[in-house]
């Protein structure tokens, strides 16, 4: 039986892939919530000067997507580097008497890469919606009253 390379799209990797994607997106969402809390005064001033809720929401949505893009790019480069290191130096060894191969080969197809990065960006976008809405709904009178 020929050895099969490990692909990201396998069903048994679904739970791990979800944890790897959802964890950083939860962190991103919390980071944006903290950013909204820190920038309450500035948001109130902008809204008092005439910025619409849509403009404020768009700013925070863009900030969240920028964080998501940078994180996705960094994670993709790190993952590609790990695959290259494993395939080049064969760090993860397998028992030769049990398996027909002596190391774990890794293979990433273009479809796997596209699906994972697309899912990551989608989840990142969804994680930015709540903080962006929260920022857009701030009442400038209430914010500036307590600042």
* Domain boundaries along the sequence of the chain: 20-145
Give pLDDT, residue 146. 80
- The pLDDT score that the predictor gives to residue 106 is 92
Tell me the average confidence (pLDDT) per consecutive run of 10 residues in the chain, 147 residues long.
Answer: 45 61 76 90 92 95 94 93 95 91 92 92 91 93 84
DSSP summary character for residue 11 = G
**What is the pLDDT, as a whole number, of residue 143?**
86
* SS3 of residue 106 by DSSP: strand
Q: What is the 3-state secondary structure (H, E, C) of 54-87?
A: HHHHHHHHHHHHHHHHHHHHHHHHHHHHHHHHHH
Say how many Å lie between the first and final Cα of the chain, rounded: 70
């Amino acid at each position: 039986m020929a050895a099969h390379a490990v692909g990201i799209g396998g069903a048994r990797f679904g739970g791990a892939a979800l944890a790897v994607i959802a964890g950083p997106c939860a962190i991103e969402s919390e980071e944006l919530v903290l950013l909204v809390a820190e920038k309450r005064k500035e948001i109130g001033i902008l809204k008092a000067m005439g910025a619409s809720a849509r403009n404020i929401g768009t700013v925070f949505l863009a900030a969240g997507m920028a964080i998501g893009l940078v994180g996705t790019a960094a994670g993709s480069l790190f993952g590609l580097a790990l695959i290259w290191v494993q395939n080049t130096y064969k760090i993860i060894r397998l028992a030769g008497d049990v398996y027909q191969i002596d190391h774990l080969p890794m293979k990433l197809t273009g479809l796997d890469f596209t699906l994972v990065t697309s899912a990551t960006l989608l989840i990142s976008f969804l994680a930015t919606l709540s903080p962006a809405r929260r920022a857009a709904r701030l009442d400038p009178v209430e914010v500036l009253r307590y600042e």
